[in-house]
Chains A and B, each alone.
Chain A
Amino acid sequence: MSLYLYALVGRPVRRPLGRGLRGEPLRLIEASGLLVVAGRVADTPRVTRATLRRHDATVRRLAGRTDAVLPVRFGTVLDDRAALTRTLAPRASALREALALVAGHEQMTLRVYGKAATTSDESATEPSDGAGQRYLSRRLRARLAPEVDPLRLALRGLVSAERIERHERPPLLASVYHLVRRGDSKRYLATVAAASALLTGVRVTPSGPWPAYAFAPDAA
């Protein structure tokens, strides 16, 4: 039997944890100073729509048991606790930071649809001399999804963290992942609905709230 991993979680964790995608009882394992929720399985679950949904449902249920949940990617199976410790040890610090980031938050996702267009290059005249890394990071994000800048501006007060992926596979142009405080998802959706009228040439489809899948250290 191997360990199938669902999520890293913060403290404290309320029990019972419930059962996993195969109906196996979930257990809390401490490894490298991190708390991991896992179940014992005989083999790696096959990827089907049903197993993906059950994995997601399990992670969502865990979000109701603790303030911070960092989902593990589907299909992650390790031999035992020793293997888990070895795997997590080199990344424990980054994972703790990610857990702190997602604590008290949930994720909203925007899919940006439209025709392929050249991403607008922000003006090189904008000063960049005193703003450092944060400024450069803002510029990079804007270039990744310039079509939805008005929407991103409208959402600014609700968003604690943001990740953007440019796809360039029309009609899907980009995915924007936002971390919002738990309980703010309705306000977020209402803001998207209202501010979408400001967009030209693209459509935006929101979904969520999701567990913070896109805010794992290596998810982007």
Chain B
Amino acid sequence: MKKKRNISKAQQILSEADASLLDLVDHVLNKGVFIEGEVLLGLADVDLVYLRLSALLCAVDRLAKT
């Protein structure tokens, strides 16, 4: 159920309701030089932010693979 709500919010962002948030999350959280040392901590926080801010497809994909 929780996952369903999350997808729904993500769809809102993808519908351009909050394009600036999409850009911010994609660039700052999903791009940039990737240093492996912090992956696990980073992903734990990202998981939280995706529930809270209902952000982004690419990182959701990345989370789904872990």
Contact = CB atoms under 8 A, between A and B. Distances in A.
Q: Do A and B bind each other?
A: yes
Interface of A: 5, 8, 44, 46-49, 52-53, 55-56, 70-78, 83, 87, 95, 98, 109, 111, 113, 165, 167, 169-172, 175, 205, 207, 210-211, 213-214, 216-219
A208 B37 CA distance: 30
Contacts of A113: 14, 16
Contacts of A219: 31-34
B62 to A, nearest CB: 11
Interface of B: 14-16, 19-38, 41-42, 45-46, 48-49, 53, 57-58
B35 A52 contact: no
Contacts of B57: 167, 169, 172
Contact of A207 (B19, B35, B41): B19
Given A95-B33, A205-B19, A75 B14 contact: no
B21 A216 contact: no
A216 B35 CA distance: 11
B19 A218 contact: no
B32 A74 contact: yes
Nearest to B48: A47
B64 to A, nearest CB: 12
B45 A75 contact: yes
DSSP majority for the A interface? mixed
A127 to B, nearest CB: 34
Given A44-B42, A167-B57, A76 B35 contact: yes
B19 to A, nearest CB: 6
Contacts of A95: 33
B33 A87 contact: no
A167 B49 contact: no
Given A47-B45, A73-B33, A213 B15 contact: no
Contacts of B48: 46-47
Contact of A171 (B15, B32, B37, B45): B15
A107 B34 CA distance: 18
B23 A70 contact: no
A211 B42 CA distance: 21
Among B20, B24, B32, chain A packs the most CB atoms within 10 A around the CB of B32
Contacts of B23: 109, 111, 207, 210
